[in-house]
Amino acid sequence: MTNNATLNNVHLSPGQRSWLRFKANKRGYISLWLFAILFLLSLFAEVLFNDKPLIVSYQDELFFPFIKAYPETAFGGDFDTEADYSDPYVRDLITAGDNWVIDPLIHYSYNTINFRSELPNPAPPTGQNLLGTDDRGRDVFARLVYGFRISVLFAFALTAIGVVIGILAGAVQGYFSGRLDLIMQRLIEVWSSMPELYLLIIFASIFQPSIWLLIILLSMFGWMGLSDYVRAEFLRGRNMDYVRAARAMGQSDVAIMRHHLLPNSMTPVITFLPFRISGSILALTSLDFLGLGVPPTTPSLGELLAQGKENIEAWWLSLGTFIVLVGTLMLLIFIGEALREAMDTRKH
Amino acid sequence: MPGKLIQVENLKVTFRTQGGDIEAVRGVSFEISQSENVAIVGESGSGKSVTALSLLKLHDPKQVDYPDGRIIYAQRDLMLASEDEMRAIRGKDISMIFQEPMTSLNPVYPVGVQIQETLKLHRNMDRAAARKIAIDLLDRVGIREPQHKVDSFPHMLSGGQRQRAMIAMALACDPVLLIADEPTTALDVTVQQQILELLKDLQRDTGMSVLLITHDLNLVRRFADRVCVMHEGQIVEQANSAELFRQPRHSYTRYLLDSEPESRIAEIEPGKDIVIQAENVRVYFPIKKGFFKRKVGEVRAVDDIDVTLKRGETLGIVGESGSGKTTLGMALLRMLDSTGQIRFREHVISDYREQQMRPLRRFFQIVFQDPFSSLSPRMTVEQIVGEGLKLHYPELNKTQRYDRIVTTLKEVGLDESALWRYPHEFSGGQRQRIAVARTVILEPDVILLDEPTSALDVSVQKQVLSLLSELQVKHKLSYLFISHDLRVVRAMSHRVIVMREGKVVESGAVADVFDNPQQSYTQELAKASIYH
């Protein structure tokens, strides 16, 4: 093992070399950091953007309202319903005397309605609502952050599912080719000629729309474009001498596909990855914009854009959403670009 | 003494790359007289093709600089000529043929149309006249039935015919100089000879000059009047052909001449035990037609062949492209389905299913012709060489496996530093060594060498061949040596099979077959290889 260790000091492993190549692309590297920080922060949105305090110390007892619902009576209030912490009466109760409160950074969650705003909704940016409110009085900043999170998570899930199915389908067709390939190709042709948008509209009217339904429906169609490219790569690769050499070595079909063909077929997958992710974000946004996407209370960028269109004079609605959307897509494309360069072993 | 046609003085060519400028040609001077055959000989990377392309300024001006040098043709310096002036010269005064006739001809046009194109461009001919000349030209370059062939697409012609069509295209405007860049490298030996003879005949008839670019010094022995030997961007020796071969002055020229593979079989004594015995091996590929893929005929790629291979022996399989030699090799290793019986030691492997074959696979390995496509570009050398070990020797731990990889790499002449590198970081010869390392690490009994040296430079070829011989002695390997190059087969094999159209034409001990060939086809092959 010592032999190995000394060697590692001199020579870099393939993974380390890829990372160096990634870092060499400054724009992509910075984009990755920015995106990672933003995404990480948005994952903790409940701690940063919430209408409930994080910790309440009431009569020397600790409460964690952002995780658990407490009735107003727990703090000496009148109702058995959950405490409304933005109510001045409740606020007085939990801050009186020795009691103390740790609040989140922004006092609004994505569906908190600011009843105490003096301006009509949608309200322009004020000290209370930094980016204004939407047409139902909800804080735009909070909705943007939650909307960003849900968009990115949705895109990751959709892309991951699409890539896995796409690679599997493409690999099987390309490697075994012949009759199997022929049949699958025809099936794909039939399947891809289904009108996706109408299907979504029909399903949206039959089922309660939800993010999971969207993922399933979009996944059913999203893999086909990629599988064609992977199939082509496998078709080309299976006749290469290195594949024949692996067969001569006695490798099984699965091992040949995984270790020899797959790494050499990743170019289209990697190339399309950033576009698939941004495409997924756009798909969700446009479906929400049309009202076919996630249920109404869910924070979504598309819904905000739709509101911006309804209230064209409320510039803060469209501008904020626009910046978030463009920023996200741009960061993803830059990262994807650097990733593609990193995967190219022929580059130094 | 005829006048000078073209003079190249102190030509320098540099390539602009991201890593800085690369000097490909470093001050080359030579001249070509009228009706003279000049050959530029050198190994890959010596700058010979770059020099030839510079004569016509066919390089991409974005990538190439000419820091110095003059090319004097018809009293003017082509270096200073504009792109328009160059265009008038290209194809008319100076024309060019390339190595790979399949890719140099446009696949979507009939060859006749492509010949006519040059005529229309430089001579303003109308279609009917151009077509007539195209047929004449095809006739002149020795294509039979030129009236029909003029309408053939490139893929309908054989390799030799395509190269002839290329030559016809180049001759269309009666050039004064024909540049032939490796015109025969992609062709079979017998065809190579025909093409060279054709060039020589045409040259005699038309009085044009020929500049032949090649890596094969022996090829130009009969052809060229004068030979320039290039090495690392410079001409190291320039002399009359006869003189150069009689008395090479520069050490590099001697090195090239010395690269003839030398026979080593005398040192290797084949054992008695039979490793592979095959009887009546047949591989037929069905020809299917129509929507329901009805079988309408078959291609008999391998037709009824018996093969015996002893331990430590090399069996050469010789034939032109399409003769079925690779198919036979693949069938013997059960990489292809075949009929007939194949025995490996006590196993009748022709009856084995793929699952049963897998554990035996380690005993038969393959080294392919093209070391660029036979190594996966996304795997490091350690992964490539170690892959088979993981599969067939799962009992080895990481350190043991690592040690064995390093030992094997040393055996093929590479060191430890190769481990983490990718195939593209190596030269062709080194890659072929890696491919050999991948096979011998499994301690096989039989290695199928499918043209293992055809893609390599002559000097590297010799090194790889001697490596193969060393390994054969050391590990008592049996080789199935497939090649179209008779010299190499002769140097390496104990016995030889000559194949043509799927059948064995002649077989026996190597000396008997080559020195005293019985069949006319073998005689022809042997003759071509001597000319070579």
Place of tokens 């329901």: B292
Query: How many separate helices (H) and strands (E) can be counted in chain B?
Result: 19, 20
pLDDT at B51 over 50: yes
Q: Tell me how far apart the alpha carbons of residues B338 and B349 are, in angstroms, rounded to a whole number.
A: 11
Q: Which of A345, A346, A347, A348 would you mutate first to test chain B, the one with the most B CBs within 10 A? A: A345
CA distance B361 to chain A (A): 5
CB–CB of A245 and B368 under 8 A? yes
Asked if A42 contacts A91 with a C-beta cutoff of 8 angstroms, the reply is no
CA distance A223 to chain B (A): 25
CB–CB of B368 and A246 under 8 A? no
Lowest model confidence (mean pLDDT) among B203-217, B256-270, B468-482, B500-514: B256-270
- Please give the torsion angle defined by the CA atoms of residues A272, A278, A283 and A284, in that order, rounded to the nearest 10 degrees: 140
Nearest by CB to A264, which of B360, B370, B376? Answer: B376
How much is the pLDDT for A9?
40
Residue of B nearest to A264 (CA): B378
A264 in contact with B, Cβ within 8 Å: yes
A11 in contact with B, Cβ within 8 Å: yes
Query: How many separate helices (H) and strands (E) can be counted in chain A?
Result: 16, 3
Residue of A nearest to B391 (CA): A251
How much is the pLDDT for B2?
56
Could you say which architecture CATH assigns to the domain B1-93+183-258? 3-Layer(aba) Sandwich (3.40)
CB–CB of B373 and A1 under 8 A? no
CB–CB of B358 and A346 under 8 A? no
CB–CB of A252 and B374 under 8 A? no
How much is the pLDDT for A2?
37
A190 in contact with B, Cβ within 8 Å: no
pLDDT at B29 over 50: yes
- Strand order across the beta sheet in which B274-289 lies: B294-310, B274-289, B339-344, B347-348
Contacts of residue A304, defined as CB under 8 A and 6 or more positions apart, other chains included, come to: A134, A140, A143, A144, A147, A317, A318, A320, A321
Contacts with A4 from chain B: Cβ below 8 Å: 398-399, 402
CB–CB of A249 and B420 under 8 A? no
Q: Tell me how far apart the alpha carbons of residues A190 and A203 are, in angstroms, rounded to a whole number.
A: 20
- Please give the torsion angle defined by the CA atoms of residues A283, A286, A291 and A297, in that order, rounded to the nearest 10 degrees: 80
Q: Which of B126, B122, B150 is nearest to B137 (CA)?
A: B150
Q: Which of B213, B115, B223 is nearest to B171 (CA)?
A: B115
How much is the pLDDT for A346?
66
A68 in contact with B, Cβ within 8 Å: no
A1 in contact with B, Cβ within 8 Å: yes
CA distance B433 to chain A (A): 14
CATH number of B311-333+357-528: 3.40.50.300
Nearest by CB to A248, which of B365, B398, B399? Answer: B365
Nearest by CB to A250, which of B362, B374, B380? Answer: B362
Q: Tell me how far apart the alpha carbons of residues B27 and B23 are, in angstroms, rounded to a whole number.
A: 10
How much is the pLDDT for A18?
81
CB–CB of B416 and A7 under 8 A? yes
CB–CB of B361 and A249 under 8 A? yes
A8 in contact with B, Cβ within 8 Å: no
Same fold, B1-93+183-258 and B311-333+357-528: yes
Contacts of residue B467, defined as CB under 8 A and 6 or more positions apart, other chains included, come to: B412, B413, B433, B436
A178 in contact with B, Cβ within 8 Å: no
How much is the pLDDT for A186?
92
What is the residue-averaged pLDDT of chain A? Answer: 84
CA distance B388 to chain A (A): 6
Q: Enumerate the domain spans of chain B.
A: 1-93+183-258, 101-174, 311-333+357-528
Lowest model confidence (mean pLDDT) among A242-256, B264-278, B425-439: B264-278
How much is the pLDDT for A4?
41
Q: Tell me how far apart the alpha carbons of residues B307 and B315 are, in angstroms, rounded to a whole number.
A: 9
CA distance A340 to chain B (A): 14
Residue of A nearest to B376 (CA): A242
Contacts with B377 from chain A: Cβ below 8 Å: 264, 345-346
Q: In what helix (H) or strand (E) does residue A318 lie, and over which residues does it extend?
A: helix A315-343
Contacts with B448 from chain A: Cβ below 8 Å: 248
How many other CB atoms are found less than 10 A from the CB of residue B347? 14
Share of chain B above pLDDT 70, in %: 96
Mean pLDDT in runs of 10 for chain A (348 residues)? 40 75 89 93 85 82 82 80 81 80 81 76 77 81 89 92 93 89 91 86 82 87 88 88 86 88 85 86 88 82 86 85 91 88 71
How many other CB atoms are found less than 10 A from the CB of residue B528? 18
Q: Which of B329, B324, B355 is nearest to B342 (CA)?
A: B329
As for the ipTM of the complex, it is 0.72
Read off the pLDDT of residues B118-163 as tens digits, 9 standing for 90 and up. 888 888 888 888 888 889 888 888 888 888 888 888 888 877 888 8
CA distance A192 to chain B (A): 25
Question: Left if phi > 0, otherwise alpha if psi is -120 to 50, otherwise beta: which for B174?
Answer: left
Contacts with B402 from chain A: Cβ below 8 Å: 3-4
Tabulate helix, strand, coil % of chain A (nearest 5): 65, 5, 30
pTM, two decimals, is 0.76
Residue of A nearest to B363 (CA): A249
Higher pLDDT, A234 or B486: A234
Contacts with A178 from chain B: Cβ below 8 Å: none
**DSSP letter, residue A208:** P
A244 in contact with B, Cβ within 8 Å: yes
Our CA angle for B328, B331, B332, nearest 5°, is: 85
CA distance A194 to chain B (A): 27
What is the residue-averaged pLDDT of chain B? Answer: 85
Range B279-299 average pLDDT: 80
Contacts of residue B471, defined as CB under 8 A and 6 or more positions apart, other chains included, come to: B411, B412, B436, B440, B477
Q: In what helix (H) or strand (E) does residue B262 lie, and over which residues does it extend?
A: none
Higher pLDDT, A4 or B208: B208
Which of B39-53, B216-230, B244-258, B394-408 tops mean pLDDT? B394-408
Which of A193-197, B86-90, B398-402 tops mean pLDDT? B398-402
Q: Tell me how far apart the alpha carbons of residues A332 and A276 are, in angstroms, rounded to a whole number.
A: 10
CB–CB of A250 and B366 under 8 A? no
A254 in contact with B, Cβ within 8 Å: no
A345 in contact with B, Cβ within 8 Å: yes
CA distance B383 to chain A (A): 10
Q: Where are the beta strands (DSSP E) in B74-206?
A: 76-77, 94-97, 177-181
Query: Which backbone phi and psi does B353 adopt, to 5 degrees?
Result: -85, 170
Read off the pLDDT of residues B447-477 as tens digits, 9 standing for 90 and up. 999 988 887 877 788 888 889 988 998 888 9
A236 in contact with B, Cβ within 8 Å: no
- Cite the DSSP H helix spans in B260-397: 325-332, 354-357, 381-392
**DSSP three-state, residue A202:** helix
Range B435-440 average pLDDT: 92
Higher pLDDT, B514 or A40: A40
**DSSP three-state, residue A250:** coil
Read off the pLDDT of residues B306-350 as tens digits, 9 standing for 90 and up. 999 988 899 999 888 778 888 999 999 888 888 889 998 888 888
Contacts with A246 from chain B: Cβ below 8 Å: 387
